[in-house]
Structure 1
Amino acid sequence: MNGPTRGQRWFAAWREQLARAFGDTLARRIFLLLWVTLVAAQALAIGVVTWSRGEFAAARVPGAPSLPPLPGLMREPPHPSGPQGPQGPQGPQGLQDPRSEPPPEDPGHDVPLPGDLPMPSRDEFHGFPPPPSAQPQAQAPPWRGPFRALTGWELTLDYGIRLLVTGLAAWIASRWLARPMRDLVRASQALGQSLHKQEPLPLLDERRGTREVRESAQVFNAMARQLRRQFNERGLMVAAISHDLRTPLTRLRMRLETLDIEELQRQRSVEDIREMNALVDAVMELFRGDGPGAAEPLQDVDLGALAQALTDDLVEQAMPVSFEGGDAQVLAKGQPMALRRVLGNLIGNAVRYGGRAEVQVGRDAQGPWLRVTDAGPGIPPDQLEAVFEPFYRLEESRNRHTGGAGLGLYIARELTLRQRGSLVLSNRPEGGLTAELRLTA
């Protein structure tokens, strides 16, 4: 199958650049869309008004003054004997057709327009302004006066206020339209924590918003309730199975103590029963979510002190473990019991598969970190994430002395995620594996 063409690649790159320019949030895109629309509407309205003013100015008689309207100035009705020409005002103001006699030299005489003549165009009229005594007493409203050009700072202030008002309206509208999506994101993030800690479900309001928003809230709430029901049913089922397994395992151990068999065989059988009990405990911790730190609140934890105390305990047990930490105190938000369980799991894996464990604590621009390294063969790159799956083991054998139950790393990452942290594995260039735990400050 052929790959994308050059045009398709160019279009994809252009679309990515456009999306980056307009922002990657719904609120920002709605804001830009509304703001550009409102600004374009304002620009169109200003253009229409400017064009209308230009047309009006072009239609005016050059040099003619703008006179306020005379009160009582009305055209007389047509003469009953036939059509008459337009009648001018009976006063010291008049117009004359250039085809008639020139106006008298004395401007005080009335010059009425002769009747029965076609109405000439306005460019063919000649006349004179009225004397000061004939000026009307009534004043015209300001809006009937001539236009006044705005200065530079007035234009800047006018357009600045328009842009500010339209931008504020677009910002409010975008925040209002994107609020249901933000509520859905927050509820989705809180759903996992509520299921693990048996907290109230973060349900959405099914009565607020548009029809699409209400339908989305109904679907999300139904999904959350179904997940809670299935989660509880699974926990009850696992608890029942674990209880049923503990009883026969306890009876088997008691019988082994009374059987007349070799001591070596008895010890091996007891060890197998102990491992089965440990597996049952791990499964209970996995599915019920009540393991160490499940309900423990987040608090400031000194990673250096915690790692130092745990490594000292392991060194007393003759385990090849070393600790390297600076003099500065490294504080992180976490759960002390859960962190101790995670660190113990990582150190145990390093000693079991790598021969030794080196623990380091520090802080960088991304926050506090804790690393556990070993000198083992490492993990194939394509399986660095797969080992965090439950019941996943790299060894082909079923020997739990080396392969384990396949739940340690899964539980370690789950406990880390509950503390808003991250746990990743990476191979060292010089050989061995590094497990890096990062938490928030």
Structure 2
Amino acid sequence: MSDINAVSRKTAWTRVLTLAVAAFIFNTTEYIPVGLLSDIGGSFGMASAQTGIMLTVYAWIVALMSLPLMLMTSNINRRTLLITVFGLFVCSHLLSFFAWSFDILLISRAGVALAHALFWSITASLAVRLAPAGKRAQALGLIASATALASVLGLPLGRMIGQGFGWRVTFLVIAAIAFLLLWLIVKVMPKLSSEDAGSVRSLNELFRRPALLGLYILAATVVTAHFTAFTYIEPFVEKVAGFSQHFATLLLLVLGAAGIVGSFIFSKFGEANLNLMLSGSIALLLTCLMLLSGAAVSELWMIALCLLWGVAFMIIGMSMQMKVLTLAPDATDVAMAMFSGIFNIGIGAGALLGNKVSTDISMASVGYVGAIPALMALVVAFLMFRKRASHTRQDQQPLVTEIK
């Protein structure tokens, strides 16, 4: 079972699909508070803007712990590590279900965040290793599509379950699904030693790569921009735009569906136009954030804006992930752990910034304020790609030729 090459294509794809379902579950639970802020706040007598701190705490734990946990577990068999991660994941969600105070809920979310930190540090490289020969890029695309599907199905379904049966039941359902997935991991995953994971010594080498460091700065900035507004999309739709709860759910579906469209666009055109697609998508994100408040006058305008917004952010995420793997093929787990941590710094910073804007200025201003780091990200992207124009051909080589 330890030889991952001597298996049928069906078995290989089953393993990749298992990782994709796991990615779906992790992304669903990470963003589920976005759709339940008002319900969670109401049960603890708190405003939705205050409960948004859940995303900040979660994201910053992931940011702080991704690299240390990856280095601490670099020699652990990946199958064993996945089983441990999902054990922690299930137990933490059970604690969320029973949480008798907001503080206990935060503690339970901290446990989920630790599992998240480990999972996303190793998932991309595992998908590439487990994929059938010649299908590595497609395997990575499947993981990305699963993350988008979490927004299409996971987040809206979680919101509907929460509204129908209470937000606690949403976390209980996630725990049950994760337990079934844990059983599947035990059944189908091979024993996988760490490979090209990197070590503490890898950090010094990675820090000498200007393109990689620039990409990390870009990631922190653009993710902050997105989550400044996205974190509070539910209360924005209901309190600023004055639309119904059902329409807020619909917009979450639209954002997620648009993410799948973005994934498809990237899989078709991304590798040949990586820098252009990344820059163009950041510009589109900036435009959407600037127009968010103005679009709140019409349901049709909000739907159109969220379509473009979802496409833009999915392409941004996939582009940055592919560039990280391309720029650090010799230390993929370390590089991805750093990327995951920095990505979550952006999530936490965006949620916190949106919280301050919502409470100190107005909920209607989250788009305008989010546009500021989006503009900064666009400038960073322009400077990065202009400076490295002579290396564009190297950066755009297909992923399957870079990862060994």
More strand by share: 1
Q: What's the TM-score once normalised by structure 2's chain length?
A: 0.24
More helix by share: 2
Higher relative contact order (CA 8 A, sep 6+): 2
Q: What's the TM-score once normalised by structure 1's chain length?
A: 0.22
